[in-house]
Amino acid sequence: MAETNGNSGNGAPAGNGSGGKSVLTTLVEGSKEVKDRALKEIETYKKPEKTDLWKSILRVKHDETPRSRALGVLSNVFLHLHPAKINRDAVAYNYTWGMGGISFYIYIVLVFTGALLMFYYHPSKVVAFRDILYLEHDVPFGKLLRNMHRWAAHLMVITVELHMFRVFLTGSYKRPREFNWVVGVILLVLTLLLSFTGYLLPDDQLGFWAVTVGTNMARATPLLGHDGPFGLELGMTPFNDVRFALLGGSIVDSNALLRAYIWHCVAIPIIASAFMVVHFWRIRKDGGISGPAPVMLESEIKERR
């Protein structure tokens, strides 16, 4: 601005008579100025990480320094579960198989596709099945969405089991990580329950009979089921035992569908997310992942504390 003012200040004494030409020159010169500045600015946009906008979002200056790399991880909500630096061996695929991280990623995929499915699904008899048909045949990409939710759920069961397998084989549940193993087992159970509660939701024969078989076992619960050992003695009937509580009735019907829906879409995801937060937090607090550690020899065993 200041410079433009200076130009018109210079132009003014050149003569009032040729005022038209002078305005034209100023305009041309002015636009040249703007063009040069624009070019210069565009040059800086080639490095977006240097702009104020970028800094305001990510909170750190971007330099090619170790400090700024560390800050980039630490000052980001999504990344700060990671430390800034880790043991160089800890990134070896042959050690972790990446299965914990992959399980978590699949969980995110499931939450995302699940939320989209919820836009089209009503948890009531007759309508539920029709919603699935609608999803499969009319909703754009509905079939892909449903398929992906289904297969991701199956894949997650596999990756979680493999994760547990590798944690066992590397002895990573040993001190100080005992409790994180317990949290892990809870996560495994929740993963299975999530899958199972989802099975009923399409309200087709497959889900109906799977859930019938599953909940029929509940009637045989010792003490708490009307068919189980000591159930009758404790006054259990089909109308007050655990199976009744699970199904919201004595048969697999609309109440059972609603209950499965709420467990599947609300309760278990919240519980599982909470346990995952604890799981990840504990990995950090227990000193990162357990290895690959140097081997220990039998002669080095210390006495029990």
Partner 1 sequence: MDWHQLWTILATPDNVPITLLLFVIPFYTWYGLRQSLANDRLIEKLEADPALAKTHHRKTQPYRPEWAREVHVWPYLLRIEFLAAIIVTIILFVWSIVLNAPLEEPANPTLTMNPSKAPWYFLGLQEMLVYFDPWMAGVVLPSLIIVGLMVIPYIDENPLGNGYYVYKQRKFAIWTFIFGFIILWVSMIIIGTMIRGPGWMWFWPGQTWDHNRLIFEVNRDLHEILGIRNRWVAFFLGGGATTLYLVGAAIGIHKLITLTPFSKKIYKRMSLLQYVTMQIFLITMLSLPVKMVLRLLFRIKYVWVTPWFNI
Cα angle: 179, vertex 94, 84; to 5 degrees: 65
Site for partner 1 in 236-265 (CB under 8 A): 251-252
By beta carbon distance, the residue nearest ligand HEM is 184
> Could you say whether residue 185 binds ligand HEM (CB under 6 A)?
yes
Cα-atom radius of gyration of the chain, to the nearest Å?
32
Site for partner 1 in 90-109 (CB under 8 A): 90-95, 97-98, 101-102, 105-106, 109
What is the smallest separation between the CB atom of 146 and partner 1, expressed in angstroms?
5
> Could you say whether residue 62 binds partner 1 (CB under 8 A)?
no
What is the smallest separation between the CB atom of 4 and partner 1, expressed in angstroms?
44
Site for ligand HEM in 228-287 (CB under 6 A): 276, 279, 283
* Residues 6 or more apart in contact with residue 14 via CB below 8 angstroms: 22
Binder of ligand HEM out of 128, 167, 218, 260 (CB under 6 A): 167
Choose one: 33-41, 42-50, 270-278, 296-304; the region binding partner 1 (CB under 8 A): 296-304
Choose one: 6-14, 170-178, 229-237, 255-263; the region binding ligand HEM (CB under 6 A): 170-178
d(CA 55, CA 49): 7
Closest to ligand HEM by CB, 139 or 293: 293
- Which one of partner 1, ligand HEM, none is in contact with 292 (Cβ closer than 5 to 8 A by kind)? partner 1
Site for partner 1 in 171-230 (CB under 8 A): 171-175, 177-179, 181-182, 185, 188-189, 192, 195-196, 199, 202-210, 212-214, 216-222, 225, 227-230
> Could you say whether residue 215 binds ligand HEM (CB under 6 A)?
no
- Long-range Cβ contact pairs of 150-158 (< 8 A, separation 24 or more): 152/106, 152/109, 152/110, 152/113, 153/110, 153/194, 153/195, 153/198, 154/195, 155/106, 156/103, 156/106, 156/107, 156/110, 156/191, 156/195, 157/191, 157/192, 157/195
* Residues 6 or more apart in contact with residue 293 via CB below 8 angstroms: none
Closest to ligand HEM by CB, 22 or 170: 170
Site for ligand HEM in 68-107 (CB under 6 A): 96, 99-101, 103-104, 107
> Could you say whether residue 148 binds ligand HEM (CB under 6 A)?
no
Q: For residue 237, count other CB atoms closer than 10 A to its CB.
A: 11
d(CA 279, CA 283): 6
> Could you say whether residue 164 binds ligand HEM (CB under 6 A)?
yes
Q: For residue 85, count other CB atoms closer than 10 A to its CB.
A: 10
* Tokens encoding 104: 């978590």
Q: Which DSSP symbol is given to 251?
A: S
The amino acid that residue 288 corresponds to is G
Using CB under 6 A, list all residues that contact ligand HEM.
Answer: 96, 99-101, 103-104, 107, 160, 163-164, 167, 170, 172-173, 177, 180-181, 184-185, 187-188, 191, 276, 279, 283, 289-290
